[in-house]
Amino acid sequence: MHNLESRNIATGFAFLHDEAGFAIGETPIAYSPSDTYGRAIAVGLLNTLRVSVIAIVVATLLGTLVGVARLSQNWLLARLAGFYVEVVRNTPLLLHLFFWYAVITQNMPHPRQAYDLLPGVFVSNRGITLPRLEGAGMDGLLGGLALAIVLLIVAQLCRRHSAICRLITRPTNALIVLLALPALGWWMTGAPIEWDVPRLAGFNFRGGLTLSPEFAALLGGLILYTTAFIAEVVRSGIQAVSRGQWEAAASLGLPRRLVLRLVVLPQALRVIVPPMASQYLNITKNSSLAVAIGYPDLVSVVNTTLNQTGQAIEGILIIMAAYLTVSLSISLLMNWYNRRIVLVER
């Protein structure tokens, strides 16, 4: 404890109420340097969650595709997927992040000569600029969608006990709910939805949605990296289903697509879900590499905080608490899902 005293460091979390005094590049909630450390850390946490959630969703979709592609009958496709997985899995994530960050900031042109990938999508050394849907109608639409998802989750939870819940969770009805509620929300606000297409104004783009180079490199790197791991999880899950199951299903006259969907995937899912959960945890933890390319995630903000205040122990405790909370939430969610799909033996 002597070193603590000699550096004049007081313990405790009182510093969270002090003025932070440093700026943060990307702020999902309003933040200025005159706000408190507590708020700065909240901004960091939201940044971490934002990048993790998007990466989890996209990497799951892509990873499943690549995993299935590796087992494809098409030799070219299988080889291509295998090549991708091997290259990515055997190089450090940090290198991917540095590489993409360097490519975006050094090898991409200025906004004036930006690559126009698709209409309205521009890639320049200021990041990636996308068109964005805007207007009050959009709020209604998103509100309706959120409501629909909550409703479906609740219905899923109570389906054992109530006939109404069972009715809602039927696939067709669920689809209707998912489409109708957002439409209703849009209709109730009565406002139209517009595309906000980015335009070049001066030296940069105006309007649209801009992903900063840091965010784009982190998100892209995380997705590309984790896709390879998820692909392996999916592939080994599918291969864990014995050949007999494939052959039996094929001898019933099912085409390969249906064999995969009706017979193999439901069984493979049991093998896939636990390692998939740990991949999701890895994405969240790996997003902390953001600090190396300057994206203000939780670790990066807390690090700045502890450099300024010297509250190292508290800072580390905050990081641990935040990650443990996220980890435990993901574990709980995945365990719950796992219990639902696991084989019930009699």
Partner 1 sequence: MPRSTLTEAGSAPEAVWLRLKKRLFSSPLNTLLTVLIAWLLLMVVPPTVEWLLLDADFRSSSAQGCADSSGACWAFIAEKHRLILFGLYPYDEQWRPLLASCILLGLIVLSAVRRFWRPSLALGWLVGLLLVGVLMWGGAFGLSHVENTRWGGLPLTLILATFGIAFAFPLGVLLALGRRSRMPLIKAVCVLYIELIRGVPLISLLFMSSVMLPLFLPEGFSIDKLLRAQIAIILFAAAYIAETVRGGLQSIPRGQYEGADSLGLSYWQQMRKIVLPQALAVVIGPLVSIFISLFKDTSLVVVIGIFDLTQSAKAALADPQWQGFGAEAYLFIGLIYFFFCFSISRYSLAVEKRLQGAHGSTHYLS
Tokens describing residue 197? 């297409």
Segment lying near partner 1 (by CB under 8 A), choices 127-135, 216-224, 260-268, 319-327: 319-327
- Amino acid letter for position 105: T
From residue 272 to residue 291, the character string flagging contacts with partner 1 as x (rule: CB under 8 A) and all else as - is: -------------xx-xx-x
SS3 label, residue 193: coil
Minimum distance from residue 290 beta carbon to partner 1 (Å) = 9
Which range, of 66-74, 144-152, 169-177, 185-193, touches partner 1 by CB under 8 A? 66-74
Stretch that binds partner 1, among 96-104, 112-120, 133-141, 213-221 (CB under 8 A): 96-104
103 binds partner 1 (CB under 8 A): yes
- Please report whether residue 74 would count as binding partner 1 according to CB under 8 A: yes
Specify the length of the chain in residues: 346
Asked if 209 is part of the footprint of partner 1 (rule: CB under 8 A), the reply reads: no
Where in 227-256 is the site for partner 1 (CB under 8 A)?
239, 242-243
Positive or negative, the Cα torsion across 183, 189, 193, 196? negative
270 touching partner 1, by CB under 8 A: no
Q: Identity (one letter) of the amino acid at 275?
A: P
- Return the axis-axis angle of helices 312-341 and 298-309, rounded to nearest 10°: 160
Distance of CA 111 to the CA centre of its chain: 27
CB of 169 to partner 1, least distance (A): 32
Stretch that binds partner 1, among 70-78, 200-208, 212-220, 263-271 (CB under 8 A): 70-78
Closest CA to 256 of 265, 271, 63: 265
Check binding of 94 to partner 1 (CB under 8 A): yes
Q: Which stretch binds partner 1 (CB under 8 A): 24-32, 161-169, 177-185, 299-307?
A: 299-307
- Of residues 12, 29, 30, 107, which one binds partner 1 by CB under 8 A? 107
Q: What is the CA radius of gyration of the chain?
A: 24
Give the three-class secondary structure for 209: strand
Residue 81: both structure tokens together: 């997927």
Residue with tokens 């899995």, as numbered in its chain: 89
By the 8 A CB rule, do 126 and 210 touch? yes
- Residue 135 zone, left/alpha/beta (φ > 0; ψ -120 to 50; rest): left
Instruction: Assess 62 for contact with partner 1 (CB under 8 A).
Output: no
Which one of 73, 171, 202, 253 is in contact with partner 1 (CB under 8 A)? 73
Nearest distance from C-beta of residue 28 to partner 1, angstroms: 21
**Dist CA 122 CA 113 (whole Å):** 9
Using the rule CB under 8 A, give the single segment among 57-65, 100-108, 161-169, 213-221 that binds partner 1. Answer: 100-108
Residues that bind partner 1 (CB under 8 A): 1-4, 7, 9, 71-78, 80, 86-87, 89-95, 98-99, 101-103, 106-107, 239, 242-243, 285-286, 288-289, 291-292, 299, 303, 306, 312-313, 316, 319-320, 323-324, 327-328
